[in-house]
């Protein structure tokens, strides 16, 4: 596998959030395999809010720390969740590039927004593999990279409404909401980082019951 250079991915993410400064997002996508995507760069489908009830399945982060998914995320505030696997060099790199743009836009601010990249390939995505990819994207502490392991990944993805024929053909997808109210908006496509940030900032403050 040959991963796209991080400077190119940075350009993709920044192009999504900087109108005109770096050309269109379509121009910055040149050289990336878009054949598996159902939408062109800059387009997204945003569905009505839905309630999700994930189980408290143990997840392990890039630092090897294991904790129940719900317990870990319940007090995280607004979250932007994406789905990826570390050996991907097409859709996931685009998705991670968009989250990189979000991470950079939030740098130095006081937004209580957490980013989550949840692995869909538990066989290969060890904590070490997650750490390597997180480092490639210079992920800040607000950006979590998680795996639910061989037993937990399928039921966790099912509970989040994530299904695909194969990991290679999944569409870019984001969930924006919080794990206190369990209310989320599902976004499919290639949104601008600023659009995801705006949606996360609109998530109402939730007091745990």
In the three-class reduction of DSSP (H, G, I as helix; E, B as strand; rest coil), residue 80 is classed as: strand
180 is in an annotated binding site: no
Beta strands 58-61 and 50-51, pairing class:
unpaired
92 is in an annotated binding site: yes
- Listing DSSP states for 42-79 in one string gives T-EEEPPPEE------EEEETTS-EEEHHHHHTTS-SE
Local structure of residue 90 (DSSP, 8 states): S
Residue numbering of the annotated binding site for Cu cation:
88, 92
Residue numbers belonging to the annotated binding site: 88, 92
């Amino acid at each position: 596998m040959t991963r796209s250079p991080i400077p190119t991915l940075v350009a993709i993410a920044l192009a999504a959030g900087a109108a005109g400064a770096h050309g269109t997002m379509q121009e910055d996508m040149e050289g990336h395999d878009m054949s598996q995507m159902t939408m062109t760069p800059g387009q997204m489908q945003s569905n009505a809010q839905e309630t999700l009830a994930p189980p408290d399945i143990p997840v392990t982060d890039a630092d090897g720390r294991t904790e129940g998914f719900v317990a870990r995320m319940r007090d995280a505030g607004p979250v932007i969740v994406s789905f990826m696997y570390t050996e991907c060099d097409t859709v996931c790199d685009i998705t991670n590039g968009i989250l990189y743009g979000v991470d950079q836009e939030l740098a130095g601010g006081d937004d209580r927004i957490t980013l989550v990249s949840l692995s869909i390939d538990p066989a290969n995505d060890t904590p070490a593999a997650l750490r390597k990819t997180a480092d490639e994207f210079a992920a800040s502490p607000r950006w979590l990279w998680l795996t639910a392991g061989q037993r937990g990944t399928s039921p966790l993805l099912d509970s989040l409404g994530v299904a695909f024929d194969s990991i290679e053909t999944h569409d870019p997808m984001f969930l924006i909401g919080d794990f206190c109210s369990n209310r989320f908006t599902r976004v499919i496509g290639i949104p601008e980082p600023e659009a995801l940030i705006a949606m996360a900032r609109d998530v109402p403050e939730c007091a745990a019951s």
